[in-house]
Structure 1
């Protein structure tokens, strides 16, 4: 295949999108491995923007199709057949897409229904939380075995999640862990016991709805996410300035007024996400 073949829009739905009850579910769909191509990332980018612009969506849940694989990373057939110019721009676009996911001021949960390796883990690390199906698979960055490094943000995000020395060790050894081990290492936030992928996803969505109005002030959740995701990349003083600006925006929100009033009236607040 030529570079041009891989840049053509796909007629297949490689990413599906559905939104209900304040939660948008975005599914990587190219079984059996759900490996991503440029076309898949174009569709993922569109789905992220769709959720970002929808005022009725408060939480994004990102998962993979099927029972065995969240995502196995980049499509190796594509990488083998395209030239370095294409590969560079492919990685650049992937970085931009995951940055957009990370910077969207809505909570993002990666629902790991199956193995999450290579670029799949790089996608999951751009989420705010990672919830995995108990006993559902392995997680790791094995790119060194291919003679390359994790090139979709893996070197940067893993080191920020688990620390510099540990991240280097895991990547140079190409280590993989069970979801249970990954939770113990702080790479996975929660495990959900489930008999299949459908019941697992239902459990993740139930958890996601804890952060949807009227139960939770989703603008405050988004502000916390932005303060942490963006603030940690700044100096301490700049991070404090960002925190103040986000707090000022929240002070002017309907939800903050409701929260303070409900506290004074000793009743549960009824947030609206505004």
Structure 2
């Protein structure tokens, strides 16, 4: 059993952060497994808020360090070392952090560079899009083999992505899927060929930059995300009301004015994300 105090933050850098060209990259940095702990989730939370408050960031990319793992889920050494009271609050904080990621009005892309299992898949499912390195690994929620359930939003997000009965089947069987199987189920949006993890991340960043100004109206991208992510949790009438309010905000934006003007002038728009 570990002698480390998992209940306190650490000065060790467990999460990397960099922002360039309108894209922020949040990297889980505890290889080889990139397993998460409470100290890591504190740093993930900080990184999400940093990206959220940065007006120059329009897309967030989440990835893992190394060649083999996006994230293997919760740190088992930590879970063995802490009491049930701490475990409950750890899960609560993880839920709140991933909700914050999901609710941020910026497109979030999970760049799945390797195996993405357990809590790693729960992190990826909180993203809007999931892009995987072809042949890079497996994905699944095998927590039942440990006598527990996917407790960082997995039961709810998986059911919303693949349907109720399929989600139950995958979780009670505890199977891990290939990325090809994940793509067929809708867990993976697309796969990219890449020689290594660095090349893969470069391709994902190139894709992410398609959604930043001046080529794309990032404010509209964020509003589309919010309309879908928040709207699906509401009644249909309430979700239509949210859609109208977001549209009204966009009608008043500089980007909408530029978009309409460019269309009438028959030229490419130059958006500013405002």
Q: Fold match, TM over 0.5?
A: yes
State the match for 2:168 in structure 1: 168
Pair 1:201 & 2:198 matched: no
**Whole-angstrom CA distance in 2 between matches of 1:150 and 1:250:** 37
The residue aligned with 2:86 is 86
Q: Is the 8 A contact 1:2 1:82 kept in 2?
A: no
User: What's the counterpart of residue 259 of structure 1?
Assistant: 259
Instruction: Give every structure 1 segment of 4 or more consecutive aligned residues whose post-TM-superposition deviation is greater than 2 Å.
Output: 1-4
SS in 2 for 1:258: helix
After superposition, the CA RMSD in angstroms is 1.1
Aligned equivalents of 2:182, 2:9: Cα separation in 1: 36
Which residue in the other structure is 2:49 paired with? 49
Residue deviations 1:102-152 (CA, integer Å, cap 9, x gap): 000000000000000000000000000000000000000000000000000
1:125 aligns with 2:125: yes
Please give the TM-score of this superposition, normalised by the length of structure 1: 0.99
Structure 1: unaligned runs, 5 residues or longer = none
Determine if the alignment matches structure 1 residue 14 to structure 2 residue 38: no
8 A contact 2:2–2:78 mirrored in 1: no
Match of 2:112 in 1: 112
Residue ranges of structure 2 left out of the alignment (5+ in a row): none
Within 2, Cα distance between the matches of 1:200 and 1:85?
A: 40
Q: What secondary structure does 1:6 align onto?
A: coil
Superimposed CA distance per residue, residues 237-271 of structure 1 (whole angstroms, 9 cap, x where no aligned partner): 00001001111111111000000000111111000
**What SS does structure 2 have at the residue aligned with 1:269?**
coil
User: How has the CA–CA distance of structure 1 residues 76 and 118 changed in structure 2, closer, same or farther, with 3 Å as cutoff?
Assistant: same
Q: SS of 2:209's equivalent?
A: helix
Measured in 2, the distance between the counterparts of 1:166 and 1:124 equals 18
1:179 equivalenced with 2:191 (yes/no)? no
Query: Partners in 1 of 2:178 and 2:206 — Cα distance?
Result: 24
Q: Does the 8 Å CA contact 1:59/1:208 hold for their aligned counterparts? A: yes
Q: Determine the C-alpha separation between the residues in 2 that align with 1:4 and 1:40.
A: 14
CA distance in 2: counterparts of 1:26 and 1:270, whole angstroms: 28
TM-score, normalization by structure 2: 0.99
Query: How many Å apart are 1:3 and its aligned residue?
Result: 10
Following TM superposition, by how much is the alpha carbon of 1:4 offset from its aligned partner in structure 2, in angstroms? 9.0
Cα distance in structure 1, aligned partners of 2:257 and 2:239: 25
Task: Name the CA distance, whole Å, in 1 between partners of 2:94 and 2:113.
Answer: 22
Equivalent pairs counted in the alignment come to 274
Change (3 A) 1:4 1:137: closer
* Contact 1:6 1:78 survives alignment (8 Å): yes
Q: Give the secondary-structure state (helix, strand or coil) at the position aligned to 2:109.
A: strand
SS in structure 2 at match of 1:26: strand
Structure 1 residue 185, shift from structure 2 partner: 1.3
C-alpha distance in 1 between matches for 2:74 and 2:149: 12
Aligned residue in 2 for 1:224: 224
CA change 1:173–1:9 in 2 (3 A) is same
